[in-house]
Amino acid sequence: MLIFLALFILFVLIMNYYIRKNNRLQDNLEKNFWDREHEANFSRKKDISNLNYLIITEDKIPQNLHTDAEKTLLELCNKKMLNLSGKTNTDLKLEYGVANLEELSLCDSRFYDFVCAVSTYAGELLENGQTDAARELLELAVTYHADNSTIYTQLAELYKEKGETGKLPSLIEAAKTLPPMSAQITLEKLKACQS
């Protein structure tokens, strides 16, 4: 009986130690987050005119299906976009200043809309037998480092259908430049396409 009581007390002491340790780690993480956020909120505005903005023009968009995705792409023409995947608002405020957050968020939102619309519209073009137009649109998205695995797999399938499997390695290399989570998912899907 005393052995069980001793083991129980030891178990409680060990659990108490780990709970306190976990609480200290959590408190440190939270403090670091708020310190960083406080610093970010007082960051000075920096020049963002030299960022690598992505801008599409109407001549890059096939204009013949008149779908919602096509309309979205046309609305995005000649507007600044930025792929800010993997960066938090705190990161953006620290790097470019709090005064630029709204503009940067708008550019990132446009890029997200672009990526979604390209994926949808390429599918619509393919359904209508316009493989060349779909391919050009998908290749444009890849050059813009779109982080949507469907874009890469659609393009890989087109390359396979045309017997251009020699282009798959460059598509895989492009996928490796994506943010880590997107890259992992996309690479797994591309490997499945190669089989």
- Band the pLDDT of 32: cuts 50, 70, 90: confident
CA 75 to CA 91: how far, in whole Å? 29
Q: For residue 179, what pLDDT is reported?
A: 84
Nearest to 138 by CA among 153, 129, 177: 153
Cβ-count burial 137-155 (b if 16+ within 10 Å, e if not): bbbbbbebbbbbbbbbbbb
Q: Mean pLDDT, to the nearest integer, of 45-69?
A: 91
Residue 98 half-sphere exposure toward CB, CA atoms < 13 A: 9
Query: What is the model's pLDDT at position 133?
Result: 94
Q: How confident is the model at residue 57 (pLDDT cuts 50, 70, 90)?
A: very high
The alpha carbon torsion through 61, 63, 64, 66 (nearest 10 deg) reads 100
Residue 149: the pLDDT is: 92
Question: Partners of 81 in the beta sheet?
Answer: 54
* SS3 label, residue 54: strand
What is the predicted pLDDT for the residue at 166? 86
> 5-20: buried (b, 16+ CB within 10 Å) or exposed (e) per residue?
eeeeeeeeeeeeeeee
pLDDT in tens, 169-185: 899 999 998 888 888 99
Tens of pLDDT along 76-124?
999 999 999 878 899 999 999 999 999 999 999 999 999 999 999 999 9
Contact 103, 47 (CB under 8 A): no
- Please tell me the distance from the alpha carbon of residue 70 to that of residue 58, in angstroms, as a whole number: 10
Closest among 86, 87, 116 to 101, alpha carbons compared: 87
- Residue range 111-157, pLDDT digits in tens: 999 999 999 999 999 999 999 999 999 999 999 999 899 999 999 99
List, in order, residues 6 or more apart from 76 with CB less than 8 Å away: 56, 110, 113, 114, 117
Q: CA nearest 167: which of 193, 137, 128, 129?
A: 193
107 residue type, one letter: C
Measured CA to CA, the distance from residue 139 to residue 56 in angstroms comes to 13
